[in-house]
Amino acid sequence: MGLPSYLAGSVARIGHEHLVAVLGEHDLRLPQYAVLAALSDFGPLAPHELATRLRTDRSHISAYVEALVQRGWVSRDPDPTDRRRQSVVLTEAGAGLFGDLRLAAAASQATFLGMLTPAERDTLLALLRKVIACE
């Protein structure tokens, strides 16, 4: 219990379980949610840029994107600067879904961190962001 990496991993596992349950209600997996979040945060991205931002293998991104394309939540559009490339774009339906999911995800995270005061949650988030930013 004295290793920060063990504690962070344990907290991540608990939060992950809560979030996976919420996403499952929408028949979504965490990597698909991550794609929607990245597109919402950064706008249209080439598949390789998505893989880089999500720190995942490029071969996995195509499967995640295809599942979202099939449901109408993202589209593959020609890159306006290079017609040989495609950009993955959040559709209007996908943006609406992500807005709902963002609220549900925030509620799930607030539930699993419910024993912390708002100030403690803010401190925890600030410290985690600092660690990630320095990586």
Distances (CA, A) of 112 to 12, 60, 65, 86, 117: 10, 29, 29, 38, 12
Q: How many residues does the chain have?
A: 135
The pLDDT > 90 percentage for the chain reads: 66
Question: Stretch 69-92: mean pLDDT, rounded?
Answer: 92
> pLDDT-based confidence at 109, cuts 50/70/90?
confident
Widest CA span in the chain: 53
- Residue 88's DSSP bridge partners are 45, 76
Instruction: Provide the pLDDT for residue 71.
Output: 96
Segment 8-53, tens digit of pLDDT: 999 999 989 989 999 999 899 999 999 999 999 999 999 999 999 9
Instruction: Provide the pLDDT for residue 30.
Output: 92
pTM: 0.82
What domains sit in the chain, N to C, each tagged with a CATH number? Answer: 4-133 (1.10.10.10)
